[in-house]
């Protein structure tokens, strides 16, 4: 199964998965708000599939293709599936464990997020003198 998605959509899905797998599994108001904000950025077709896998107890719902294999179950993917997955940004389903797969090289790190991190780090280091 393949769900068409842009790199931006996949990044949003990865952010949601990060919130859900974070160390703070409590139902705190801050965590719930963060999860809702992340979920709003994920297209409905991806969110539905993600929620289904989460509800059946699948951990690490969204995983990368690494070395021609699913990084969730570590089983080698069919060659044609891997080839297609690496050609265009989309979310595929692992034929073995049913996790959501993506090709990490097609989802570059968000340069905006890197800029924000750099700006946050700059004031802390600007006040220091050598």
What's the CA gap between 14 and 99, in Å, rounded?
A: 13
CB atoms within 10 A of CB 22: 11
Structure tokens at 46: 């991806």
Instruction: Output 96 or 22, whichever has higher pLDDT.
Output: 96
Residue 25 has pLDDT above 70, yes or no: no
What's the CA gap between 95 and 11, in Å, rounded?
A: 22
Instruction: Output 26 or 19, whichever has higher pLDDT.
Output: 19
Average pLDDT, integer, range 61-66: 94
Query: What is the SS3 assignment for 28?
Result: coil
pLDDT for 44 equals: 92
Instruction: Output 69 or 113, whichever has higher pLDDT.
Output: 69
Structure tokens at 21: 């797998």
pLDDT for 113 equals: 46
Q: CA nearest 39: which of 30, 28, 51?
A: 51
Residue 124 has pLDDT above 60, yes or no: no
What's the CA gap between 39 and 2, in Å, rounded?
A: 20
- Terminal C-alpha separation, the chain: 57
Residue with tokens 């049913």: 98
Query: What is the SS3 assignment for 2?
Result: strand
């Amino acid at each position: 199964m393949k769900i068409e998605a842009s790199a931006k959509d996949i990044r949003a899905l990865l952010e949601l998965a990060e919130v859900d797998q974070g160390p703070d599994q409590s139902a705190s108001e801050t965590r719930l708000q963060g999860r809702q904000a992340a979920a709003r950025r994920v297209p409905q077709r991806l969110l539905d599939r993600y929620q289904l896998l989460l509800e059946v107890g699948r951990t690490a719902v969204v995983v990368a293709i690494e070395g021609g294999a699913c990084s969730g179950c570590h089983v080698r993917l069919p060659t044609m599936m891997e080839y297609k997955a690496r050609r265009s940004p989309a979310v595929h389903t692992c034929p073995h464990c049913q996790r959501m797969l993506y090709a990490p090289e097609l989802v570059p790190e968000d340069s905006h997020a890197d800029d924000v991190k750099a700006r946050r780090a700059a004031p802390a280091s600007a006040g220091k003198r050598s």
